[in-house]
Amino acid sequence: MKWIKPQYIAFLIVLLLNFALFRGFFTISIQDGRLFGSLIDVFNRGAPVAILAVGMTAVIATKGVDLSVGAVMAVAGAVAASLIQSGQPLGIVILAALGIGLLCGLWNGFLVAVLDLQPIIATLILMVAGRGIAQLMTEGRIVTFNDPGLIYIGSGALLTIPMPVVIAGVLMVVATLIMRRTALGLFIESIGVNRSASTYAGLRSKTLLIGVYAFCGLCASIAGLIAAADIRGADANNAGLWLELDAILAVVIGGTSLLGGRFSIPLSVLGALIIQGMNTGILLSGFPSEFNLIVKAFVVIVILMVQSPIVGNILTFMRPTPAPTAVPAPGEKTS
Amino acid sequence: MSPRLWPLAATLSIFLIAYAVCVWQFPNMWSTRVLGNFLTDNAFLGIVAVGMTFVILSGGIDLSVGSVIAFTGVLLAILITRYNVHPLIAFTLALALAAAFGALMGAMIHYMNVPSFIVTLAGMFLARGAASVLTRDSIPINHEFYSTVTSLSYRLPGGGRLSVIGLIMVAVFVVGTILAHRTRFGSYVFALGGNATSANLLGVPAARTTILIYALSSFLAGLSGIVFSLYTSAGYPLAAVGVELDTIAAVVIGGTLLSGGSGFIIGTFVGVMIQGLIQTYIVFDGTLSSWWTKIVIGGLLFVFIVLQRLLVYASKRRWRKTPAIQIGNMPEVA
C-alpha cells in the first residue's frame, strides 16, 4: 500500500466529483484526428501549469521559489509572436523563445547563487519587470500570428494526443529520469537541506543552483510558447498571469516540501492536474470561475495543516503507544 | 554615517535627483498642485506600504494586501449602496474584519510554523475569491458622506490641494514611524526580523508580536481599501490587482532590508513617492507607455537589492574586525 499516495486519491475524487456534476465527463471521442472530451480537456488545459510545475519543483527542492515564471511565459510568447511575424523560420523562433526563457532563468540563478539574494526577492525583480519587457517587445499590442507550425504546438495532436499533453508528458518523464537515474536529484535535495554543508561536501552549489533556475526558466518559456500558440497571439498583459501561484500550489499539493530537500516531479504534475480538475469542476457546476480562488485557498490551508508540526505531534500523541518490543527498525519511516 | 542609513540616503538622493531632472524637463512639475496630487494618487499605496514595512521588518511578507483592498472596497459598496448602512459604521466593520483576517493569518504563520508567503498566498486567494463571490461587477457608491469627504481639501498656495485621503496617508506614516521606532512593539518587530531565535531567548513574545504584525498589515490594507473606495467611489472585485508587488517594491526601494531587522518607515514614504514620480513623469511625457513604470521599478528594485547586499557585506566585515559585542543588525543570509 506504500505506493498509494494521497494525491492519487485526491485526483480520483476530483474526477469523480466532475463526473457527478456532468455525466459525460469520461466520454472520450476522436474528432479531427485528436482525442476530444472533458477528461482530455483537463489534461490539455492543465499542461502549461504542469510544465511550470516541473521546473518549479526543482527550484522549490533547493529551498527556493521562482515568482517570475508567469512573466517569463509572457516574454517567451512575445518573442515567438514578434519573430514569426517578421518572417523568421519556425526553428529559429522556437529556439529564440526557449533561449530567452533560459536567459531569464540564468539571470534569476545568478541573483540567487552569486549575489546570494533570497529567491523570493530575486525573482520578484523579473516578475515586476518581465511583463514590462514583454510589453516593450509587442509594443503594447496583442501580436497575432497564423503560422501553422507554431499553432501546432498549441492545438495540434500527435497520435491523437493533444500536443501540450505530449510536451508536458515528455518533459516530466525526461526530467524525472535525469533527476532520479543520476545523482542530480540527490544533489538538489542536499542543497535544499543545507546549502553550505553541501558546498563543504564538495558540491558545486552555485553552478547547480544556476542550472536549476535556468531549467525553471526553460520550462516557463515552453509553457509560454504553448499559451501563445493556443490563442494564436502574444498577450503580454494576460499570458501566464497568476500562473506562478498555480505552479507553486501544484508543487505544494504534490507534497514537495517548501523548506527544501524533498521533491517529486510526477506528483507535482499530478498536483497541476488536480488544480485543473477543480477548475473544470467549478465551471461545470455553474459557480463563477472566481469561486476557484476560495477553493484553492482552502486546499492550501488544509495542506499546511496536514504538514504542520503541531498536527503531526497531535497525531503521534493520539497513536496508541507501541509495545516495548515494537521498536521501529532504523531507517523505517514512522510517519 | 552609519551603514544602516545608506539605503535611506540613496533612496532620498535618487528621489531628489529624479525630481530635479523632471522639473528641469517639465518646469510645470514644480508646483504644489503636482505635489498635492502625489499624496492623493498614492494614498492607498502609501497606507498599505506602512503595514508591509512592519511585515518585512519582521522578516516576513504579506501577499494578501491587494486582495484585502479589493474585498474591503466591495464590502463597503455592498453595505452602503445595497443595505444603506452609514459609511462610518461600514468602515468600522470593514476594519474589524480586516484586522481579524490578518490576526488569523499571523496565528497560522506562528503556530503552524509555515513560511509567511504561502499563508498569505492562501489569504490572497481567499479575499479575492470572497470579493468575487459577493459581486462580479463594479458597484458605484453614491452616498453624500462620500461626496462631502472627497470635496473637502486644504488649499495650498499655488493651487495645490491636500485632500483628506492624502492627509490620512501622512497621518498613517507619522503613527507608523512612532510605532516602529519609539514603542516596545516596534522594537519587538525589529528583534524578530533581526534574529528570531535570539529574540525568543531575550523574551520577545513571538506569538503575540507575529499576530499583531499581520493584523496591523491587514488593518492598514483595510484602511487602504476605504481610501481606495473614497478615491474611486466604487467597489470592484478585480481592483488593486498586483498592488502587493508595488507595495513590496516601495518598501525595498525605501531601504528596508528584505531579510528583516533593519529599515525605516519614512524610507517607505520616499519609495512610494518614487513610484508616484515615475507615473507622473509618464503622464507628463505623454508618449511613453505605462509599462515603462514596471521596467523602471524592476530596475530600481535590482539596484536597491544589490545595494543591500553590499550593506550586509560591509556590516559583516565590520563585525569581523570588532569581535566585541555589537548591537547592530546582523541579517541572516538565507
Residue A331 scores a pLDDT above 60: no
Nearest by CB to B118, from A126, A131, A258: name it: A258
All residues of chain A having their beta carbon less than 8 Å from the beta carbon of residue B116 are: none
Look at residue B53 and tell me if it is in a domain: yes
Q: Count of alpha carbons within 13 Å of A125, Cβ hemisphere only?
A: 23
Q: What is the DSSP letter of B136?
A: S
Note the ipTM here.
0.72
Residues of B with CB below 8 A from A131's CB?
291, 294
Using alpha carbons only, give the angle B63, B65, B67 rounded to the nearest 5 degrees: 100
Q: What pairs with residue B139 in β-bridges?
A: B235
Residue B130 Cα, gap to closest chain A Cα (Å): 7
**Residue with C-alpha cell 479575492?**
B128
Q: What is the CATH number of the domain that holds B49?
A: 1.10.3470
Using an 8 Å CB-CB cutoff, list chain B residues near A209: none
pLDDT exceeds 90 at position B215: yes
The Cα B106–Cα B121 span in angstroms is 13
Is B212 within the bounds of a domain?
Answer: yes
Q: How many residues does chain B have?
A: 334
Q: What is the domain range of residue B285?
A: 14-152+163-316
Shortest distance, CA B162 to any CA of chain A (angstroms): 31
| pLDDT at residue B220 in the model | 95
Which residues have C-beta within 8 Å of that of residue B274, sequence separation ≥ 6?
Answer: B11, B14, B15, B18, B250, B253, B300
pLDDT over threshold 60, residue B327: no
The answer to whether B332 and B319 have CB atoms below 8 angstroms apart is no
- Could you tell me the pTM of the whole model? 0.81
Examine the pLDDT at A249 and tell me if it is beyond 90: no
Q: pLDDT per residue over A200-220, tens digit each? A: 888 888 888 999 999 999 999
Q: For residues A148 and B75, which has the higher predicted lDDT (pLDDT)?
A: B75
Residue B278: inside a domain, yes or no? yes
Taking the CA of residue B310 and the nearest CA in chain A, the distance in Å comes to 10
Interface with B, mutate which of A72, A111, A116, A121 (most B CBs under 10 A): A121
CA distance A319 to A301: 24
The per-residue pLDDT for range A154-176, each reduced to its tens digit, is 777 777 778 888 888 899 999 88
Instruction: Catalogue the long-range contacts made by B148-153 (C-beta closer than 8 Å, 24 or more residues apart).
Output: B149/B230, B150/B230, B150/B233
CB pair distance less than 8 Å for B258 and A121: yes
| Residue B148 Cα, gap to closest chain A Cα (Å) | 34
- Residue B332 pLDDT level (bands cut at 50, 70, 90): very low
Q: How many Cα atoms sit within 13 Å of B142 on the Cβ side? A: 1
Domains and CATH numbers, chain A: 6-286 (1.10.3470)
CA distance A161 to A155: 10
Could you tell me if residue B40 is inside a domain? Answer: yes
pLDDT digits (tens, 9 = 90+) for A294-311: 888 888 788 777 766 666
Per the domain annotation, does B1 fall within a domain? Answer: no
Q: Is residue B250 part of a domain?
A: yes
- Cβ-contact B79, B90 below 8 angstroms: yes
Question: Which residue numbers of B have CB closer than 8 Å to A's CBs?
Answer: 61, 108, 111-115, 117-119, 121-126, 128-130, 132-133, 136, 237, 245, 248-249, 252, 258-259, 289, 291-295, 297-299, 301-302, 305-306, 309, 333-334
Residue B232 lies in a domain: yes
Q: What is the pLDDT of residues B225-257, one digit of tens each?
A: 999 999 888 888 888 777 888 898 889 888 888
Alpha-carbon gap: B149 to the closest alpha carbon of chain A (Å) = 33
Is residue B326 included in any domain, yes or no?
Answer: no
Q: Which residues of A touch B110 (CB under 8 A)?
A: none
CB nearest A297 (choices: B129, B295, B309): B129
Q: Span B260-284, mean pLDDT? A: 87
Q: For chain B, how many structural domains are there in total?
A: 1
